């Protein structure tokens, strides 16, 4: 992270399989950051498969204009599956944050220069009654751990940008976010 105009520039990767909501979580973070007055880029990348293939996105949040949306050494990452852990755990900058979906990733990080947060997100989401909530559980943990935006900003972005037909899921999303955020002891 670097100081940019009084605010820290944060470069975040969210990665998993298609269908795990990686792109949605990134969009939600981008909207929350933008609605909070930051400069933002959101850059998706995914395989040709609709579900089960690779899916990831990069979100950069800064206090001033962002030169390029490319990130080689993210300051934080959410990894939702083993291939994502293998790809991004080594890439995180020293002092960064890694949020690991420990329901699907049994291995532990060997790094001692980053903060690693293990969350059984898929198990927690199933407990809530919807396995697709694992992404927002991890996102809320990342937001609490990094302070990139407030949890309230993420909730507001969800309400403001979620299509009307999905508003019935707002309460469940908020509960998932609260549970993920509660796991972080700052």
**Residue ranges of domains in the chain:** 2-182
151-184 pLDDT tens trace: 999 999 999 988 888 889 899 999 999 999 999 9
Q: Is 68 exposed, middle or buried (0-12, 13-18, 19+ CB in 10 A)?
A: exposed
pLDDT above 70 as % of the chain: 92
DSSP 3-state assignment of 118?
Answer: strand
pLDDT of residue 4 exceeding 80: no
74-93 pLDDT tens trace: 999 999 999 999 999 999 99
Per CATH, the number for 2-182 is 3.40.920.10
């Amino acid at each position: 992270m670097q100081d940019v105009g009084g605010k820290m520039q944060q470069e975040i990767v969210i990665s998993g399989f298609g269908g795990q909501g990686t792109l949605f979580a990134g969009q939600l973070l981008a909207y929350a950051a933008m609605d909070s007055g930051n400069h933002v880029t959101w850059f998706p990348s995914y395989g040709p498969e609709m579900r089960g293939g690779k899916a990831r996105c990069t979100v950069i949040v800064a206090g001033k204009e962002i030169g390029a949306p490319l990130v080689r050494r993210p300051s934080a990452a959410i990894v939702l599956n083993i291939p994502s852990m293998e790809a991004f755990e080594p890439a995180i900058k020293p002092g960064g944050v890694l949020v690991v979906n420990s329901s699907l990733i049994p291995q532990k990080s060997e790094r001692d220069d980053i903060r690693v947060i293990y969350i059984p997100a898929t198990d927690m989401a199933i407990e809530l009654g919807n396995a697709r909530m694992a992404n927002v559980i991890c996102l809320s943990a990342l937001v609490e751990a990094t302070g990139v935006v407030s949890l309230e900003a993420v909730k507001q972005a969800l309400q403001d940008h979620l299509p009307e037909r999905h508003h019935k899921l707002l309460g469940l999303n908020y509960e998932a976010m609260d549970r993920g955020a509660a796991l972080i002891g700052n």
